Amino acid sequence: MGAGSSIAQNGSIGGWDAGVFIGRDVMIAPNVVIVAFDHGIASLDIPMVQQANVEAAVHIEDDVWIGANVTIGKGVRVGKGSIIGANSYVNRDIPPYSIVGGVPAKVIKSRIGDE
């Protein structure tokens, strides 16, 4: 976790072997969940609880604001200067300087050119 970054109460970060990497000056609001893994579901013949986890690192670049109750899934890169609206589910990469929201999260607008 980079300098100047903060995590509010009730946050949960699970990196397993893949890892969660948080840049500088990142603001993480309450009740945020960041996970770098998911349960395996490939085989119908093996109970899901017995299948190997699927892992992929999560990267949160510098100067990101993550709103309350956000979930960020495995393999996601959140671009520099982005804002993730409260109650969003992020399951794909977010371009730098984007404002995103929703389930699943989608780009609402870019911060580039905002004054």
Kindly list the catalytic residues: 39
Strand spans (E) along the chain = 6-7, 12-14, 20-22, 27-28, 33-35, 37-38, 54-55, 58-60, 65-66, 71-72, 77-78, 83-84, 89-90, 98-101, 106-110
